[in-house]
Amino acid sequence: MNNFSELITKRRSIRKFTTEPLTAEQVELILKAGLKSPTSKNAKPWRFIAIEDKELLTQLSLCKKMGSKLIADCALAIVVAVDPLTSSVWIEDGSIASIMMQLQAEDLGLGSCWIQIRDRYTTAETLSEEYVKDLLDIPMQLQVLSIIAFGHKDQEKPPHDDDKLEWEKVHIGKYNNKQ
């Protein structure tokens, strides 16, 4: 895609994927997007765990009470773990990397969906982060922020509609309560 505005208009959260695997080149481009993402003070505090194994994806899909089942059917899941000892803004750094990978996926014609892990719980009422860390042997000092699911789209969603943008949430100069 040559037009960034078109890219962000088309990108939607996709929760249904086909069974077609991603190519090695697609996976590499998605990971490169994360690795190229900006970070505070160029600290690069993130670590990405890329998972394509179907059995592991199925286990990973149980990481939350709701909203994570789609991981079982994706072609690739990338766990975004971040070292808070490396950056005081680790949440922001990991979030930027996550969306950069999602934008790259959209540019490739692929679907993606963010699955929030930080401050979420499993059906057994344990922290989702601990479940993911135990499953994937993630070191204690890293914090698991999100899992991004990727795959070939098995659903189509309309692009964002500019006519539905909430311009009343934009303030110029100062916050204006009278809008």
DSSP states along 8-54: HHH--B---B-SPPPPHHHHHHHHHHHHTS--GGG---EEEEEE--H
Can you give the residue ranges of every domain in the chain?
21-154
Residues of the chain falling short of pLDDT 50: none
Q: What pLDDT, on a 0 to 100 scale, did the predictor assign at position 2?
A: 67
87, 43 Cβ separation under 8 angstroms = yes
Q: What pLDDT, on a 0 to 100 scale, did the predictor assign at position 179?
A: 57
Q: What pLDDT, on a 0 to 100 scale, did the predictor assign at position 178?
A: 72
C-alpha separations of 108 from 16, 30, 101, 104 in Å: 17, 9, 11, 6
Q: What pLDDT, on a 0 to 100 scale, did the predictor assign at position 49?
A: 98
Domain 21-154 has CATH 3.20.10.10: no
